[in-house]
Chain A
Amino acid sequence: MTGTKHMKHDKPLALPIKKIITESERVKTFVFDYDFPGEPGQFVMCWIPGFDEKPFGIIKKDGFGFMISVAAVGESTKALHMMEVGDMLGFRGPYGSTFNLPDFGSIALVAGGYGMVPLSFLAQEARKKDIDVHLFIGARTKEELLFKSWMEEIGVIIHPSTDDGSEGFKGFNVQVFEDFVTKHPPSFGHPHVERALRLPEGGPIKDLPFEGSTPQGGGMLSKAYTVGPEIMEMKVAEICYANNIPFEVSLERYMKCGFGICGQCCVDPVGWRMCVEGPVIDGEKLKQISEFGKYHRTASGKVEKYPWNKDK
């Protein structure tokens, strides 16, 4: 994947903002003139001097370099949106586990909200390996379909959905993904699948292939990747389990240190740190994380149930 020219930075590295791109009413992209190390799925701890330090997914867009895309949702991200070219931000990282791509075939990316941030970088790297990428992107409205033109440019097959129906399917991206999956059940007659099955152990045969569809007619989905609100990730996981699709999910938990010592982002009951063993978790390992889709811990360490969780 992307080369790592620089060492990991564990002390915040101050970088001036080189360029600011307004993506939508709520989202801005900040570009930096520095080859920050990192691979798809990993994150940086971004210090917004005077406000906070927060984890953001790493993007390294070809022709642009290292960048972060941020929605103005809280006090610190709103402060970040007020910043100008030349203002300084501090970065530590890269931290966390990475997505793992198959060697060939087709993949599905299911992105909700700002889940598009890490998945855009993954889509770029997948296209470089000539992997077909089906993107199931959901947003409130057409204007908020993040990185749509970039994804089109690199040849990603987009299956959009919007809450208001202003583009693509009116409703949730999960429904589009489920339709796609159930209409294209596993088929072992496909040439890609046959090739996969012939490979020696340790090859992509582990990733049970199933047939998908491409505009060229026919293809093979080797794996799915999902990032977004946890309720959406939970639904995607259910679909993947039900249809035997290997998948990876990025699980967000409150973080302090980012490098594995504070214990704040450990998940029950295994105690894995989402900044070291996560945030990217394989579907099989995910089965061991009982709190997935149910609750998380706040800055104090207190357990907070998700609103949809009716347990106890």
Chain B
Amino acid sequence: MNLSTNLAGIPLKNPTILASGVMGVSTSSMKFVQENRAGAVTCKSIGHEERKGHHNPTVYSWGQGITNAVGLSNVGVDDGTVLLKEMIDALEIPVISSCFADTVDNLARVAEKLMASKPVAIELNLSCPNTENDFGLMFALDPEATTRAVSQVKKIAGNTKVFVKLTPDASNIVDVGKAAEAAGADALTATNTLSGMIIDIHTKRPILTNKFGGLSGPAIKPVSVRAVWNLYNAVKIPIIGTGGINTGEDAIEYIMAGATAVGIGSGVYYRGIDVFKKITDEMSAFMEKEGYKSIEEMRGIAHKS
């Protein structure tokens, strides 16, 4: 079955993309993901300076999903640019470069440095829910802040596509998505994790060191599908549907809501590192059974019925 798709001019052999923050620490870990048939990979967000992130506990599963507050650990943009170049050279599939910063100016600086590695696309992580104490509120809560961030980066991006990762915490994610598109974004990633909190009643305290964390996994899938559906009606740029995708059926649900590609993160925990193989096999089986010939044929189809 032909699962190829075109994401903002970037050809993908299949629509599964490793989501940022998962496995994307080193070239070796990325190659391990490629071997397991991901269509593309996103590196762990790179910021201005080296960060160790929050103290553990930073990631665990609470039963209906995963919660995390890793705190944007990364090697910093100088080493990050070298690492990114190494990943791009070593991998056959597209490497999307995720980045973050505390201010719009710093974000443009980080993005500009990353350009030296000539990434095919850069994903602006405007929506990490776990660094409010360090960096203040997420840009992606606010259409205006999003406009400023995207337009600054677009000025220096050249041929590199600019993706914007949105948060389901925004009071109106569609307004933020439209603002990103108007500022020149080439694609939207919907969505990042959903902010939450889990308290252990025996020790009488939140388990994550950061107290709050981003929820991912099956529990948030309907939230992100809803976001993709609404964005699909409001913007023309492609959408990477992300949140709780564990099976081929989950991926197809997002595509029918309007997604061009799908982000896989927690699925690596739920189904193993070969989740990409499993999802693409299941997509093929479904398409064969239902008589679909291409991803394109299914895209947004739920809006028509």
Per a CB cutoff under 8 Å, which of B28, B51, B59, B207 touches A262?
B59
Within 8 A of B (CB), among A40-56: 45, 47, 49-54
Per a CB cutoff under 8 Å, which of B29, B53, B56, B209 touches A271?
B29
Is there a chain A Cβ closer than 8 Å to B26's Cβ? Answer: yes
Instruction: Closest A residue to B267 by CB, please name it.
Output: A261
Is there a chain A Cβ closer than 8 Å to B226's Cβ? Answer: no
Within 8 A of B (CB), among A16-58: 45, 47, 49-54
A300 and B51 contacting across the interface, CB-CB below 8 Å: yes
Instruction: Closest B residue to A89 by CB, please name it.
Output: B203
Is there a chain A Cβ closer than 8 Å to B200's Cβ? Answer: yes
Evaluate whether A272 and B25 lie within 8 angstroms (CB atoms) in the complex, with A257-B59, A301-B73 already known: no
Determine the chain A residues whose CB is within 8 A of the CB of B55 once the complex forms: 51-53
Is there a chain B Cβ closer than 8 Å to A198's Cβ? Answer: no
The minimal Cβ–Cβ distance linking B203 to chain A, given in whole angstroms, is 5
Most buried by B among A88, A297, A301: A301
Instruction: Closest A residue to B50 by CB, please name it.
Output: A300
A301 and B75 contacting across the interface, CB-CB below 8 Å: yes
Number of B residues, CB within 8 Å of A: 48
Mark the stretch among B2-10, B60-68, B143-151 that contacts chain A.
B60-68
Mark the stretch among A7-15, A105-113, A235-243 that contacts chain B.
A7-15
Is there a chain A Cβ closer than 8 Å to B293's Cβ? Answer: no
- The A interface is mostly helix, strand or loop, or mixed, namely loop
B60 and A257 contacting across the interface, CB-CB below 8 Å: yes
A262 and B25 contacting across the interface, CB-CB below 8 Å: yes
A53 and B57 contacting across the interface, CB-CB below 8 Å: yes
Is there a chain B Cβ closer than 8 Å to A268's Cβ? Answer: yes
B269 and A259 contacting across the interface, CB-CB below 8 Å: yes
B26 and A301 contacting across the interface, CB-CB below 8 Å: yes
**A49–B203 alpha-carbon span in the complex (Å):** 8
Instruction: Closest A residue to B56 by CB, please name it.
Output: A53
**A45–B57 alpha-carbon span in the complex (Å):** 9
Per a CB cutoff under 8 Å, which of A12, A272, A300 touches B75?
A300
A270 and B60 contacting across the interface, CB-CB below 8 Å: no
A261 and B25 contacting across the interface, CB-CB below 8 Å: no
A263 and B74 contacting across the interface, CB-CB below 8 Å: no
The minimal Cβ–Cβ distance linking A255 to chain B, given in whole angstroms, is 8
Number of A residues, CB within 8 Å of B: 40
Is there a chain A Cβ closer than 8 Å to B160's Cβ? Answer: no
Evaluate whether A271 and B30 lie within 8 angstroms (CB atoms) in the complex, with A259-B61, A259-B269 already known: yes
Evaluate whether A11 and B59 lie within 8 angstroms (CB atoms) in the complex, with A263-B44, A272-B32 already known: no
**A131–B96 alpha-carbon span in the complex (Å):** 52
Per a CB cutoff under 8 Å, which of B31, B57, B200 touches A269?
B31
A263 and B22 contacting across the interface, CB-CB below 8 Å: yes
Is there a chain B Cβ closer than 8 Å to A4's Cβ? Answer: no
Determine the chain A residues whose CB is within 8 A of the CB of B268 once the complex forms: 260-261
**A273–B273 alpha-carbon span in the complex (Å):** 10
The minimal Cβ–Cβ distance linking B69 to chain A, given in whole angstroms, is 10
Is there a chain A Cβ closer than 8 Å to B79's Cβ? Answer: yes
A11 and B52 contacting across the interface, CB-CB below 8 Å: no
Within 8 A of A (CB), among B267-285: 268-269, 272-273
Instruction: Closest B residue to A271 by CB, please name it.
Output: B32
Determine the chain B residues whose CB is within 8 A of the CB of A155 once the complex forms: none
The minimal Cβ–Cβ distance linking B241 to chain A, given in whole angstroms, is 19
Per a CB cutoff under 8 Å, which of B66, B202, B272 touches A88?
B202
**A51–B33 alpha-carbon span in the complex (Å):** 33
Evaluate whether A297 and B28 lie within 8 angstroms (CB atoms) in the complex, with A53-B57, A302-B79 already known: no
Is there a chain A Cβ closer than 8 Å to B193's Cβ? Answer: no
The minimal Cβ–Cβ distance linking B171 to chain A, given in whole angstroms, is 30
A92 and B75 contacting across the interface, CB-CB below 8 Å: no
Evaluate whether A11 and B60 lie within 8 angstroms (CB atoms) in the complex, with A261-B265, A261-B269, A272-B32 already known: yes
Evaluate whether A297 and B26 lie within 8 angstroms (CB atoms) in the complex, with A12-B207, A90-B203 already known: yes
Determine the chain A residues whose CB is within 8 A of the CB of B200 once the complex forms: 12, 14, 49, 90
B28 and A269 contacting across the interface, CB-CB below 8 Å: yes
The minimal Cβ–Cβ distance linking B253 to chain A, given in whole angstroms, is 22
Determine the chain B residues whose CB is within 8 A of the CB of A300 once the complex forms: 50-53, 73-76
**A276–B272 alpha-carbon span in the complex (Å):** 10
Determine the chain B residues whose CB is within 8 A of the CB of A255 once the complex forms: 56
Q: Add 18 more A-B contacts to A10-B62, A266-B29, A273-B29 (CB < 8 A).
A: A10-B63, A12-B57, A45-B56, A45-B57, A52-B209, A88-B202, A260-B273, A261-B59, A261-B268, A263-B26, A263-B29, A263-B44, A266-B26, A300-B50, A300-B51, A300-B75, A301-B44, A301-B75
A selection of 30 A-B contacts at a CB cut-off of 8 Å is A10-B62, A11-B207, A12-B57, A12-B60, A45-B60, A47-B56, A53-B58, A90-B57, A256-B58, A256-B59, A257-B59, A260-B272, A261-B22, A261-B66, A261-B268, A262-B59, A263-B23, A264-B25, A266-B26, A266-B32, A269-B31, A271-B26, A271-B33, A273-B29, A297-B26, A299-B52, A300-B73, A301-B26, A301-B44, A301-B74
- Return the 9 tightest CB-CB contacts between A and B, nearest first: A271-B32, A53-B56, A14-B202, A266-B29, A10-B61, A263-B23, A257-B59, A271-B28, A299-B52
